[in-house]
Amino acid sequence: MKLVIGDKLNSSWSMRPWVLLRHFGIPFEETLVRLNRSDTKSKILAVSPSGKVPCLVTDAGEAVWESLAIVETIAEMHPEHAMWPRDAAARAHARSISAEMHAGFADLRQNMPMEITTRAPGQGATSGALANIARIEAIWADCLAKSGDPFLFGEFGIADAMFAPVVMRFNSYAPELSATSLDYAKRITALPAVAAWIDGAREEAR
């Protein structure tokens, strides 16, 4: 199958399914479309009806767009991996926070955009962004307390992939975080799949 993505430097939506596939060792062909160029729109529309990345093209040639739909599809295709928690109650919780991440936190997105090579501590710390961060920290603290670490529901899964771009933002803008959040962010950053995405972003920035 093929995953069409935007720049690793700042395509937070693309990062989520890419990291998930890479972490679980699922083979895929990466197609990178550089963003904000004259031919960007036409290249994306050739595969994605929404005109946006990411877009998964299955072995059957079916297009799946929107990050959350893509990761759900990947999970269905590979039930051997516990991408969602096996426990029904935990799975419902994981889906809830993943959907909240997909649809919410607009102030954080606007004021602390993902730009992996950026280092700007304190920048973008508006009241709205800080309120979003407080909510994210509450989600993480609750999940980590219940799971007992190291990730939101024990082992790395879709919920962690959904929040991975938030970790990249925290690395860039260094808002004040609890020790629990900092430790979790370090674990996400150190994951081989995440480290590979970061390396790709640095290559793009050269």
CATH number, domain with residue 115? 1.20.1050.10
Distance CA 78, CA 68 (A): 15
pLDDT tens digits, 26-40: 999 999 999 989 999
Of 81, 96, 116, which residue is a domain's last?
81
Distance CA 161, CA 164 (A): 5
Q: Is residue 97 part of a domain?
A: yes
pLDDT tens digits, 169-198: 999 999 999 999 999 999 999 999 999 999
- CATH number of the domain within which 41 lies: 3.40.30.10
Secondary structure in 3-state letters for 51-112: CCCCEEECCCCCEEECHHHHHHHHHHHCCCCCCCCCCHHHHHHHHHHHHHHHHCCHHHHHHC
CB atoms within 10 A of CB 40: 16
Please check whether residue 35 is in contact with residue 143, taking contact to mean a CB–CB distance below 8 angstroms.
no
Which amino acid, 155?
E
pLDDT tens digits, 70-98: 999 999 999 999 999 999 999 999 999 99
Q: How much is the pLDDT for 151?
A: 98
Mean pLDDT value of segment 100-119: 97
Q: How much is the pLDDT for 71?
A: 98
CB atoms within 10 A of CB 206: 5
CB atoms within 10 A of CB 113: 15
Q: Is there a single domain that holds both residue 120 and residue 165?
A: yes
What residue numbers bound the domain in which 159 lies? 88-194
Of 51, 81, 111, which residue is a domain's last?
81
pLDDT averaged over the chain?
A: 96
Please check whether residue 113 is in contact with residue 166, taking contact to mean a CB–CB distance below 8 angstroms.
no
Q: Is residue 28 part of a domain?
A: yes
Distance CA 167, CA 119 (A): 13
